[in-house]
Copies of this chain bind each other. A is one copy, B any other.
Amino acid sequence: MDDGWQIPTVAVTVDLVVLTIRDDQLQVLLVERGIEPYAGKLALPGGFLASETEDIDAAAGRELTEETGLRAKHTHLEQVRTYGAPHRDPRRRVITIGYLAILPNLPEPQAGGDARAVRWTPVGQTLRRRNSLAFDHTRVLSDAVERARAKLEYTTLATAFCGPAFTVADLRHVYEIVWGERLDPRNFHRKVTSVENFLVPTGEHTTKDGGRPAALFRRGTAQTLYPPIMRG
């Protein structure tokens, strides 16, 4: 074994799948690459570890802040998986750790500190076209979206797409758009309001909608949904 073998080291990046709902679509934050390889192609935002001692979760939070101007603390941010095929970056060996971030629909387009061209893009069309993204980012996006879809079933993750106060209909729209299927408004209402500590009434109500004002809620302390809300 000990025949002068040196421990190999590799470069490490974090790549972010930042999801939100805009214009009744599930959208992902993409950047246009300015340099080779894949110059001009769209890619997930991300980057190398800033130093040999930067924590990987901290690196993901730092990238999120750089791209969106938001603090990671108030955002859902979780690791999905790591991609380490040898030639996924043609320049050199790079493994990347994929993260899923979920934001509410922001009033203004993100004003990142970074000068790169950054844009919201519908997830559906991005996944439908092969090779629409640089590197293996289509796979990274696909895995993260599937994670999000699955977690809506048995966790309270859907509230991460909503602002501080939201209606039951807002929450239902999250499910409908992320899953791409219609849910019965009446049964959905009963399900979510009967889970303990999922939704906390603020006492406020919406105004100026087409119909009866809806009660406003904020996130409760519950992290898991039991019973789960299942897809079709």
Contacts and interface: CB of A to CB of B under 8 A. Distances in A.
A12 B53 contact: no
Tell which of A9, A48, A87 has the most Cβ of chain B within 10 Å: A9
A35 to B, nearest CB: 11
Nearest to A94: B7
Interface in A1-34: 7-12
Nearest to A226: B230
A148 B197 CA distance: 28
Contacts of A9: 9-12, 52
Interface stretch (A37-45, A78-86, A132-140, A175-183): A78-86
A97 interface: yes
A56 interface: yes
Nearest to A97: B82
B49 A8 contact: yes
A93 interface: yes
Interface string A89-104: 0000101010000000
Contacts of A49: 8, 10
A55 interface: yes
A51 interface: yes
A11 B6 CA distance: 10
Contact of A79 (B53, B55, B82): B82
Given A79-B81, A81-B81, A86 B11 contact: no
Contacts of A97: 82, 84
Interface of A: 7-12, 48-57, 79, 81-82, 84-87, 93, 95, 97
Given A12-B84, A52-B93, 11 more contacts: A8-B48, A8-B51, A8-B54, A9-B10, A10-B10, A10-B49, A54-B86, A55-B84, A56-B82, A57-B84, A82-B82
